[in-house]
Amino acid sequence: MTTDNDPEYPIQVSVLRLGHRLVRDDRTSTHVALVSRAFGCKKIYMAYSDNRIVDTIHDMNERWGRQQEFEVELVNDWRSLIKSWKRNAGNVVHLTMYGINLNKTLPQIKIKNNILVVVGASKVPREVYSMADYNVAIGHQPHSEVAALAVFLDRLFEGRELDRCFKNAKMNIIPSQAGKRVSLEER
């Protein structure tokens, strides 16, 4: 499972999105997928089918490039996914305000090469808490799974995810003090 890992980013992270509620969570689920892609995850598993998210990610990959083959995959049986993940010697980290504070737990997590980060929308089934290797709280106040995922990944990758290179982009941003500068690639 770890043979194709980037030596600069030896930890491969995938995301499992649970509990999407129709309409209400459309934008939030899209943001979860966009953060997963932008912060260098390998894949997002969605327990709910939404072609718009697949289209959005495809469009982003076309316009803004890829740092690897980031994919959206529909998963019908997330319990099996979690179980097989653990069997294959990967960590399962569930982000929840009820867990152990990130500040306390991150130094103690025995990071394996393949992490599955589980983020819920509304209520997450109880069994997720017991199936996860780690229940990690990005603070103990209610806020946002988008924020929780982003902060977890930023800490895990120690900020280097913001410098990742995305290849084969049609558009590349030229960082600017003020304004919007973009270079367009001929392909």
Can you give the binding site for its own copies, defined by CB under 8 A? 24-25, 27-28, 31, 34-35, 37-39, 60, 64, 96-104, 126, 129-130, 132, 135, 137-144, 146-151, 154-155, 159, 161-164, 166, 172-173, 175-182
DSSP-derived secondary structure letter, 21: P
Which is nearer to its own copies, 3 or 179 (by Cβ)?
179
Which is nearer to its own copies, 65 or 113 (by Cβ)?
65
Which is nearer to its own copies, 35 or 117 (by Cβ)?
35
Name the nearest CA neighbour of 43 among 10, 4, 16, 75. 16
Which is nearer to its own copies, 89 or 140 (by Cβ)?
140
What are the CA-CA distances from residue 74 to residues 10, 12, 41 (Å)?
25, 19, 16
Smallest gap from residue 76 Cβ to its own copies (A): 25
Residue 116 contacts residue 84 (beta carbons within 8 Å): no
Smallest gap from residue 35 Cβ to its own copies (A): 5
Residue 107 tokens, joined: 């130094």
Smallest gap from residue 84 Cβ to its own copies (A): 20
Using CA atoms of 111, 116, 122, 124 in order, give the dihedral in degrees to the nearest 10: -80
Q: Which residue has the tokens 């946002």?
A: 144
Smallest gap from residue 101 Cβ to its own copies (A): 6
Q: Which residue has the tokens 């919007």?
A: 180
